[in-house]
């Protein structure tokens, strides 16, 4: 096995790289800028210029595609939304075209996706992989993201993970919320009833390893823990773990919409998501309860 990772400097990419190296699995990265953050061989590419260093594919057997502009990093201007979509879709296309052009044989293409596929809505329905997408930007982005991965079905096995919020102490959503709570400024968002499907980083990495090593995995899987928690419960549970109290009232929806515009939709809405399909592949979550995940993270 030799694994090519795009987006290798991100939260999941960094952790997965280290995990694979610890198992003596060779890893290379495709990056926009040469760097050695993870002490692996890097190759340059630029989806905006349709450029890719085709040497990146030498002896590669599996590809893990994590590249893409941050969903919640900046306000959703028209330009930003185009970048969010194109940085996922055009990168997949660039890889596929290079593989076909050079008649390269790979065994597996694993792509990240998101639970945003089900849309920025809030209700009590539990969504499975068989449910249809919603009609909003984040849903449309995930549809195009997954469709770009499906084009690899002609040449190899394809696995797509609809990831929930990935919990880690130092990166992602969790440290942002924790810092506010520790400063005494944290509180639930809007009405607080929006669900926040989540997964511990360690379980996310083990899911990717599961997909790399089990040829029976194919298609789309929700990558979330079993416990359904809403924003209010999520926020208070973090506070309890940090031995802090939530003293402020919920942050009003109109404030978030004023600050973030359309981006506020994914902060104020969220659905329940089922992980039953991936559990049926004999995968076992190590952290299936939010309390257990937070205790481990902040131990």
Q: Quote the DSSP letter at residue 14.
A: H
Q: Are 147 and 92 in contact (CB under 8 A)?
A: no
Q: Give the residue among 78, 43, 37, 36 at the shortest CA–CA distance from 58.
A: 43
Neighbours of 179 (CB within 10 A): 11
Question: Could you give the count of Cα atoms lying within 13 Å of 187 in the half-sphere of its Cβ?
Answer: 12
Residue 158 pairs in a beta bridge with 109
Q: What is the dihedral of CA 9, 282, 230, 131, to 10 degrees?
A: 90
Q: What is the CA angle 103-141-139, rounded to 5?
A: 135
Continuous segment of H or E residues that includes residue 252: none
Alpha-carbon gap, residue 299 to 295, rounded angstroms: 6
Q: Which domains does the chain have, with CATH numbers?
A: 3-297 (3.40.50.720)
Residue-by-residue pLDDT tens, the chain, 299 positions: 999 999 998 999 999 999 999 999 999 999 987 766 678 999 999 999 999 999 999 999 999 999 999 998 888 999 999 999 999 999 999 999 999 999 999 999 999 999 999 999 999 999 999 999 998 999 999 999 999 999 999 999 999 999 999 999 999 999 999 999 999 999 999 999 999 999 999 999 999 999 999 999 999 999 999 999 999 999 999 999 999 999 999 999 999 999 999 999 999 999 999 999 999 999 999 999 999 999 999 98
Residue 254 pairs in a beta bridge with none
Q: Quote the DSSP letter at residue 131.
A: S
CA distances to 52, 72, 187 from 207, in Å: 28, 24, 31
Residue 4 pairs in a beta bridge with 28, 63
């Amino acid at each position: 096995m030799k694994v090519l990772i795009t987006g290798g400097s991100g939260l999941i990419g960094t952790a997965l790289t280290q995990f694979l190296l610890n198992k003596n699995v060779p890893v290379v990265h495709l990056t926009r800028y040469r760097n050695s953050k993870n002490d692996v061989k890097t190759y340059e590419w630029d989806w905006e210029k349709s450029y890719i260093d085709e040497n990146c594919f030498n002896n590669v057997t599996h590809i893990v595609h994590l590249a893409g502009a941050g969903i919640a990093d900046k306000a959703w201007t028209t330009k930003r939304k185009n970048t969010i979509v194109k940085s996922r879709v055009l990168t997949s296309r660039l890889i596929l075209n290079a593989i076909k052009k050079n008649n390269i044989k790979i065994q597996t293409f694993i792509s990240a996706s998101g639970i945003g596929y089900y849309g920025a809505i809030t209700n009590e329905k539990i969504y499975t992989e068989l449910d249809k997408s919603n009609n909003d930007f984040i849903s449309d982005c995930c549809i195009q993201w997954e469709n770009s991965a499906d084009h690899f079905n002609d040449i190899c096995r394809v696995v797509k993970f609809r990831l929930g919020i990935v919990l880690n102490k130092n990166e992602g959503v969790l440290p942002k919320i924790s810092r506010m709570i520790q400063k005494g400024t944290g509180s639930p968002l809007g009405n607080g009833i929006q669900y926040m499907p989540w997964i511990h980083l360690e379980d996310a990495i083990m899911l990717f390893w599961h997909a790399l090593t089990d040829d029976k995995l194919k298609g789309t899987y929700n990558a979330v823990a079993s416990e359904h928690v809403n924003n209010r419960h999520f926020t208070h549970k973090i506070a309890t773990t940090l031995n802090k109290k939530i003293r402020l009232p919920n942050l009003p929806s109109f404030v978030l919409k004023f600050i973030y515009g359309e981006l506020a939709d994914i902060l104020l809405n969220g659905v329940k998501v089922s992980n039953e399909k991936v559990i049926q592949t004999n995968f076992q979550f190590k952290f299936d309860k939010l309390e257990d995940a937070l205790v481990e993270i902040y131990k």
